[in-house]
Structure 1
Amino acid sequence: MKTIFYPENERGKNNIGWLKANFSFSFASYYDADKVHFGALRVLNDDTIAAGTGFGTHPHDNMEIVTIPLEGGLEHKDSMGNTGVISAGEVQIMSAGTGVYHSEYNASKTQEAKTLQIWLFPKERNIQPRYDQKSFTEALKPNQLVTLVSPVESADTLWINQDATFSMGNFDAGQQISYDIKTEGNGAYVFVLEGSIKINSAVLNKRDALGVYDTSSFIIEPEERSRFLIIDVPMS
């Protein structure tokens, strides 16, 4: 098993007033040759968006975009005709494919919103753009790892145009979570949202991450009540 440690304090940061962003990988004006991508995972932005503000209409193409609100909600509108609000407990996915325009604004005029914006390289290029969202509020129960996004179409998850799987869970200290890589040859990017976990000898605190690859499984041990996201992605 091989690992890459991504400490929170080495993330790129950008504060432009209405947006406070943390970049796990090179993005916008932040560039680090050692942090361009982890396999098919290209972007993981940890954003705080001020009340009543957001991202105006802008284009994307040939990228799988997954949005996970952590606090508050985002008002989404796109050129496919989709409009609505995605809130904490829900996940949104958009295949940009041949090209799409969209906007995202904090749905609240009084409270800030916190969200993860995640981009993956697609498995198949130039597909017809598509959009979906789903609530996982009832599925996310304590001490259970829940699949959010999967390359296999299912009523229980969101489908992605990539051999990738997203899983999330809230676990108490003392648990042992055995994680099996979902697709042979994939690696796993483990991102700690809250708390502290241990993988082998590596201790990860809030917003630290560990890329794990060249293995078929590994053990996660929460050192306190912890919440984490696992992004299982092709490495080539």
Structure 2
Amino acid sequence: MFEMRYAADRGKADFGWLQSQHTFSFASYYDPAQMGFSALRVINDDKVAPGAGFDTHGHKDMEILSLVLTGKIAHKDSAGNTEVLPAGEFQLMSAGRGIYHSEFNASNAEDLKFLQIWIQPNQFGGEPGYQQKDFGQDEGLTLILSPDGRDGSLTVRQNAFLYQLILAQAGQQQLALAAGRKVYIHLITGELDVSGHTLQPGDGIKISEQAALQLKATADSKALIFDLP
């Protein structure tokens, strides 16, 4: 089964310093038909004005992934992590029994654009965790998250996998799916055909009950592929 989630239909928020588009229900945007997909709870496409950001706030029992698209994030948390994330870098914060953090645009001149992603964990409480890594821009599939940190991936507290897909125009990739798994694909740039369904930037697609996917780029493309329980 395939269900498109078009970019134009996402929830929107504009606070002046922050412009955000919500794939799933978040904050003041509520749609009972868009409460997440499997363990994937949030994909927010955020643009933050120069020097602005999110003041210190708390999270508990959530896996929070950030991917910087352009600019840099200045991150600080109550576990003692003070980091700057440049474009292309992934950050995974496991909130565990509770953590406080702040995120700001590290530039006073340029906008920050990043994806904020929440995955519901299958382990609760425990020590908060922090991981950060640049996985490069290799063509094809690159494993970003896994439950066991295999192949140098970040370790997520859920039976979930995340892949970065990069394809040049006319490039193709096949992805086999284990029985009972669900997949969500979010297109960042380009144009991607997913087994006959065309995605434009910001679009997503919910996939279930499939044994394999045929992925073809009709323009240079970059996407995130979530393999979910």
- How far off is 1:151 after superposition? 1.1
Q: Give yes or no for contact 2:192–2:219 (8 Å, CA) kept in 1.
A: yes
1:204 is aligned to: 199
Task: Report SS of the residue matched to 1:62.
Answer: coil
For 1:153 and 1:207, how far apart are their aligned partners in 2?
28
Give the letter for the 1:102 counterpart: H
Give the letter for the 1:43 counterpart: V
1:8 is aligned to: 7
**1:42 and 2:38 correspond:** no
Gaps of 5+ in 1: none
1:226 is aligned to: 221
- How far off is 1:155 after superposition? 5.8
1:97 is aligned to: 96
- How far off is 1:180 after superposition? 2.2
Gaps of 5+ in 2: none
2:141 is aligned to: 145
1:69 is aligned to: 68
Give the 3 Å change call, closer, same or farther, for CA 184–122 of structure 1 in structure 2. Answer: farther
Matches within 5 A, 1:102-141: 102-137=101-136, 140-141=137-138
TM-score, normalised relative to structure 2 = 0.96
Q: How many residues align?
A: 229
2:59 is aligned to: 60
Deviation string 1:167-191 (CA, Å, 9 cap, x unpaired) is: 112212222210123x652211111
- How far off is 1:22 after superposition? 0.3
1:174 is aligned to: 170
Deviation string 1:81-133 (CA, Å, 9 cap, x unpaired) is: 10010111211001111000000001111111100000011011112111111
Give the letter for the 2:204 counterpart: A
- Identity of counterpart residues, as a percentage? 38
Give the letter for the 1:129 counterpart: P
Give the letter for the 2:38 counterpart: G
1:185 is aligned to: 180
1:33 is aligned to: 32
- How far off is 1:233 after superposition? 1.4
Give the letter for the 1:158 counterpart: L
Greater CA deviation, 65-74 or 210-219? 210-219
Greater CA deviation, 97-106 or 161-170? 161-170
Task: Report SS of the residue matched to 1:43.
Answer: strand
TM-score, normalised relative to structure 1 = 0.94
Give the letter for the 1:223 counterpart: T
For 1:24 and 1:205, how far apart are their aligned partners in 2?
14
Q: Give yes or no for contact 2:143–2:151 (8 Å, CA) kept in 1.
A: no
Q: Give yes or no for contact 2:140–2:173 (8 Å, CA) kept in 1.
A: no
1:194 is aligned to: 189
- CA RMSD between the two structures: 1.2
- How far off is 1:154 after superposition? 3.5
Task: Report SS of the residue matched to 2:113.
Answer: strand
Q: Give yes or no for contact 2:97–2:128 (8 Å, CA) kept in 1.
A: yes
For 1:161 and 1:106, how far apart are their aligned partners in 2?
28
Q: Give yes or no for contact 2:194–2:213 (8 Å, CA) kept in 1.
A: yes
